[in-house]
Amino acid sequence: MLGNARHQVVSAGVPAPAADWLLSPAVMHRLTWLHERPVPPQRDVPHELFKGCWAIPLHAETSDWRGIFAIVLTEEALQTNDFACGCSEQDINAGDARTSLLKYCQAGSRVPDAISLILQFTREDAEIGTSTDNVLREFSDKLIQSYEETHVLFRVMRYMASSGTPSEQMTLVCNQVQQVLPFDWVAITFKDSENVEPSLRGQQIIAGTVPVHKNSCEKEIHSMLDLQQSDNWTRILTPAANTLARLLGAEVVCDPITYQGVVIGSLLAGNKSGSDPNIASPEMQFIDAVADFLGTFHENAMRFAEQQAMFLGTLQALTAAIDAKDRYTSGHSDRVAYLSWQMALALVYSAADAERVRIAGLVHDIGKIGVPEAILCKNGKLTDEEFAAIKLHPEIGHGILRGIRQLADVLPGVLYHHERYDGRGYPHRLQGESIPMIARIIGLADTMDAMSSNRSYRPAIQRPDVLKEILKNAGAQFDPMVVAAFQKVDLAGYDAQLTQHAAVYTQPLKAAA
């Protein structure tokens, strides 16, 4: 009997070491005990054989049932003494068996109950069949589908914890759901409202192919979504009762995505393929589970966005306070941040990396908080001692920020933005490629703004002369590649900032009360 069972397990595609372990006495004795009990085990209910290993009876209507089990493993099972005992009994290498079984393992102690519930729903649907053969065939197909859906849910959960923008993660989820469900298309859409994470506002992601013009579909989905304020709506839209379903010529399943009890988006799927065009309950349950995951993910994304905004707002306020020590440098940090960001984009940085360069530009002069105001605001030439005090601000800034974990990647821009490409800068006289790129970018932006701004000891230098000076110093003060990127920057946005900030230092100073 065991030989025949082994043949069936191996024929199903299970590698030999894994098959041998599954047929070890450590497993088979427990299954035999379940099989031979006077009262058959309840079907679809998981029975723990040992830690991390469950058996789910698939057929147990009568005392003479055939003893067919689904075995569910987690990685925890592969570390137990029972697993090692089974390997020893079969004289197989535990490492080989563990490697063979690892790809069949599921994640988490709740998996058996989840799979059991899926099996239960699948079995109940299968019992509708008119013959035993049809029931078994449908059961097998749906079991495979349910297994794939379970894997997709686990992948969705992993995406929620992975890096990437909210839009990128939503696209991954949309594609995965469309691949596993029997629908021609799947869409995730969000309202354009304040209670939606900023990068997702008004966004619509569609995986697959819709049978009508995409713009028409998107417009109808947004129109329908704008009318919904709560999640109390019909989940299955029919052509007879809904404009979108009528436009597509098929039923559409539409599940709400909520945030703080308010509908902010929806997960939709339509134009079901296969012999049955009607949307079944397992498909509804799967869509509902994914929509719940998306709601949780959006809530976390909103919290992160709020924390990020608060963090950046604090930095902005701090740098503005430093700039305000000298009215002639009002807005300097903002402008350096803007120019640095634009140059990073011209250097083909990703949006995320360019944003980090912008933040570095924003805080590059934070060390000036440790420089006496009398030196910062002095009219006329600085003495050697005063200039030495000014030259300390990159190291002071680095010391202030190095304890902030979120700014670890921008610290080189703070510390080295006064280094020169020819090695004559400060504080460490770095040269050429040894200067971090982020510092080379900020260094040019800092110089550009310093020349373009009024100072207590001179007026702003005219733009043609500024550009001429920058080009002249390519290869000396500046990295030629950064200079080339600077030449691609549209300075209209910078000039708008310059005009706005100029209003501050053109106002007369008020006498102290």
Three-class secondary structure assignment of 69-111:
EEEEEEHHHHHCHHHHHHHHHHCCCHHHHHHHHHCCCECCCCH
Residue 272's H or E segment, with its range, is strand 262-272
Same domain, yes or no: 285 and 333: no
What CATH code is carried by the domain that includes residue 190?
3.30.450.40
Q: Which two tokens stand for residue 480?
A: 């030629």
pLDDT value at position 411? 96
Residue 468: inside a domain, yes or no? yes
Residue 383: inside a domain, yes or no? yes
Question: Which residue range(s) make up the domain with 90?
Answer: 2-109
pLDDT value at position 510? 46
CA distances 387 to 376, 381, 423, 429, 476, Å, are 10, 9, 19, 16, 21
Same domain, yes or no: 286 and 328: no
Same domain, yes or no: 332 and 199: no
Q: Which two tokens stand for residue 429?
A: 């006289």
List phi, psi (to 5°) of 237.
-95, 130
> Going edge to edge, which strands form the sheet with 262-272?
204-208, 183-190, 262-272, 252-259, 236-237
Residue 355: inside a domain, yes or no? yes
Same domain, yes or no: 84 and 228: no
Same domain, yes or no: 68 and 179: no
Q: Burial-class residue 119 by CB neighbours within 10 Å (0-12, 13-18, 19+).
A: buried
What CATH code is carried by the domain that includes residue 444?
1.10.3210.10
Look at residues 89, 109, 129 and tell me which one is the last residue of a structural domain.
109
CB atoms within 10 A of CB 390: 18
Residue 37: inside a domain, yes or no? yes
Q: Which two tokens stand for residue 168?
A: 């990128």
Q: Burial-class residue 87 by CB neighbours within 10 Å (0-12, 13-18, 19+).
A: buried
Q: Which two tokens stand for residue 263?
A: 């509908």
Residue 76: inside a domain, yes or no? yes
CB atoms within 10 A of CB 396: 17
pLDDT averaged per 10 residues, the chain (length 513): 51 74 87 78 80 80 65 87 90 88 73 71 59 56 54 57 74 83 88 88 86 74 68 73 83 86 87 79 80 85 82 80 68 93 96 93 91 82 90 94 90 97 96 97 96 81 95 96 97 91 58 37
Same domain, yes or no: 424 and 485: yes
DSSP notation for 23-71: TSHHHHHHHHHHHTSSSPPPTT--EEEETTEEEEES--SSTT----EEE
Same domain, yes or no: 294 and 329: no
Same domain, yes or no: 214 and 255: yes
pLDDT value at position 327? 62
Look at residues 109, 134, 155 and tell me which one is the last residue of a structural domain.
109
List phi, psi (to 5°) of 489.
-80, 130
> Going edge to edge, which strands form the sheet with 69-73?
47-50, 53-57, 69-73
Are the C-beta atoms of 171 and 308 separated by less than 8 Å? Answer: no
- Can you tell me the distance from the alpha carbon of 173 to that of 205, in angstroms, rounded to the nearest whole number? 10
Residue 104: inside a domain, yes or no? yes
Same domain, yes or no: 42 and 96: yes
- Can you tell me the distance from the alpha carbon of 210 to that of 185, in angstroms, rounded to the nearest whole number? 6
Rg of the chain (C-alpha set) = 33
Are the C-beta atoms of 454 and 328 separated by less than 8 Å? Answer: yes
Same domain, yes or no: 273 and 343: no
Query: How many independent structural domains does the chain possess?
Result: 3
Q: Which two tokens stand for residue 317?
A: 């306020």
pLDDT value at position 428? 96
- Can you tell me the distance from the alpha carbon of 209 to that of 273, in angstroms, rounded to the nearest whole number? 12
Q: Which residues 6+ apart lie within 8 Å of 399 measured at CB?
A: 367
- Can you tell me the distance from the alpha carbon of 461 to that of 95, in angstroms, rounded to the nearest whole number? 72
Q: Which residues pair with 138 in a beta bridge?
A: none
Residue 156: inside a domain, yes or no? no
Same domain, yes or no: 466 and 332: yes
Q: Where are the beta strands (DSSP E) in 137-251?
A: 183-190, 204-208, 236-237
Same domain, yes or no: 271 and 386: no
Are the C-beta atoms of 87 and 106 separated by less than 8 Å? Answer: no
Residue 309: inside a domain, yes or no? no
